[in-house]
């Protein structure tokens, strides 16, 4: 893989100035985490924006800030409440790390953000780019960032070949990000880089004719914009399957809390009956519940980043006294207090279907 050419000081200055001039009149200046752009608000927005589009994040961010306006409020909340406000955003480890890091900030830093990259990166869930965003966007300190949008802009501008997930490619992109990040106007520059990638330097159909740095773009000059950045090597996702039990009593539908780590860690989910077992016997033996023969629903697929999950819902009524009482690890859910429970997206979908049918 050929190394990207070392940009000259003149090229770097021109790139910065053209980008900042464009940002002044065409950048995004009304995002909710920009008003005010505190380290806390920048941090939460950056974590939410990992793997998630801005339009999806905005309402989640606004609700999150209303409930957890600062580090202390987030640290003092229980994880259930945090996960409930994250439900639907996916990648729930982000929320668990956010909550854990808030506890460290409260206990070790008096709810203040450390002002060094290394210390920030030691906090749960904060990587190099997120730490750079906190320092630059939230504190005004010069620090480079390298999110997905910035990777795409730099890969095209300097024809950096290869998939950014490879360490050699990532190292080149970080070198370019750091050499172009200015000492002054760092917050504006980093926001401009993200905005350029989000609005013009798009993965598909890049708007090169409107790009403020198109003249120096090596990929555009060669007509190879779509070749950068390099794609992740394709692989077939494995398929797993499960049966989710919608066990309904007059009190609601049974939910159980999942283990703190792993798939949907810490969220509330439906009991899962292993394939090949009789669900009536399984409910009696594992849950202490007498249920009628479940009615199977339509199997549907939920896709994660690393596998497909085929879910077969089984709906059954619970007879007699409940073998399971509400406790820390189980609850009868009726939809009345839905904000109190963090639910995985497919579980929420199934619950809403049953509750809507009941209504």
What CATH number is given to the structural domain containing 258? 3.90.79.10
Residue 232 in any domain: the answer is no
Residues lower than pLDDT 70 in the chain: 1-6, 321-328, 336-340, 359
Residue 78 in any domain: the answer is yes
136 with 268, same domain? no
144 with 113, same domain? yes
* pLDDT at residue number 293: 86
Residue 149 in any domain: the answer is yes
What CATH number is given to the structural domain containing 55? 1.10.340.30
* pLDDT at residue number 294: 87
* Structural domain containing residue 125: 9-227
* pLDDT at residue number 338: 56
* pLDDT at residue number 334: 84
* pLDDT at residue number 339: 55
SS3 per-residue string spanning the chain: CCCCCCCCHHHHHHHHHHHHHHHHHHCCCCCHHHCCCCHHHHHHHHHHHCCCCHHHHHHHHHHHHHHCCCHHHHHHCCHHHHHHHHCCCCCCHHHHHHHHHHHHHHHHHCCCCCCCHHHHHCCCCCCHHHHHHHHHHHHCCCCCCCCHHHHHHHHHHCCCCCCCCCHHHHHHHHHHHHHHCCCCCHHHHHHHHHHHHHHCCCCCCCCHHHCCCHHHCHHHHHCCHHHCCCCCCCCCCCEEEEEEEEEEECCEEEEEECCCCCCCCCCEECCECCCCCCHHHHHHHHHCCEECCCEECCCEEEECCCCEEEEEEEEEEEECCCCCCCECCEEEECCCCHHHCCECHHHHHHHHHHHHHHC
- Please state the pTM of the whole predicted model: 0.84
273 with 141, same domain? no
Instruction: Write down which residue in 205, 227, 249 finishes a domain.
Output: 227
* pLDDT at residue number 329: 84
Instruction: Write down which residue in 227, 256, 273 finishes a domain.
Output: 227
**Is position 183 annotated as part of the catalytic site?**
no
Residue of 46, 326, 329, 352 marked catalytic? 46
160 with 254, same domain? no
* pLDDT at residue number 323: 59
* pLDDT at residue number 102: 98
313 with 215, same domain? no
* pLDDT at residue number 1: 46
């Amino acid at each position: 893989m050929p190394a990207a050419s070392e940009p000259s000081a003149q090229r770097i200055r021109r790139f910065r100035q053209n980008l900042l001039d464009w940002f002044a009149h065409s950048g995004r200046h009304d995002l909710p985490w920009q008003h005010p752009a505190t380290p806390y608000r920048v941090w939460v927005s950056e974590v939410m924006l990992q793997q998630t589009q801005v339009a999806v994040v905005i309402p989640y961010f606004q609700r999150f800030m209303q409930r957890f306006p600062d580090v202390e409020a987030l640290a003092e909340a229980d994880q259930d409440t945090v996960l409930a406000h994250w439900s639907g955003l996916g990648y729930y480890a982000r929320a668990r790390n956010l909550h854990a890091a808030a506890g460290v900030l409260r206990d070790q830093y008096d709810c203040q953000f450390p002002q060094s990259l290394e210390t920030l990166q030691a906090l749960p869930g904060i990587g190099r780019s997120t730490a750079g965003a906190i320092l630059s966007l939230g504190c005004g300190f010069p620090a480079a960032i390298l999110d997905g949008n910035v990777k795409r802009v730099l890969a095209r501008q300097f024809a950096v070949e290869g998939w950014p997930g490879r360490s050699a490619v990532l190292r080149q992109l970080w070198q370019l990000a750091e050499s172009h990040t200015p000492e002054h106007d760092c917050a504006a520059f980093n926001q401009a880089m993200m905005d350029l990638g989000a609005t013009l330097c798009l993965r598909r159909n890049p708007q090169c004719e409107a790009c403020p740095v198109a003249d120096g773009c090596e990929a555009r000059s060669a007509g190879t914009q779509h070749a950068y950045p390099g794609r992740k090597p394709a692989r077939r996702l494995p398929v797993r399957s499960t049966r989710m039990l919608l066990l309904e009593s007059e009190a609601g539908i049974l939910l159980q809390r999942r283990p703190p780590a792993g798939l949907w860690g810490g969220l509330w989910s439906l009991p899962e009956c292993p394939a090949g077992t009789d669900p009536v016997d399984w409910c009696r033996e594992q849950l202490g519940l007498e249920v009628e023969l479940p009615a199977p629903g339509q199997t549907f697929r939920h896709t994660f980043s690393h596998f497909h999950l085929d879910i077969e819902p089984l709906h059954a009524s619970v007879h007699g006294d409940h073998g399971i009482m509400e406790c820390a690890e189980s609850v009868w859910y009726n939809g009345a207090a839905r904000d109190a429970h963090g639910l995985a997206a497919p579980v929420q979908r199934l619950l809403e279907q049953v509750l809507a049918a009941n209504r």
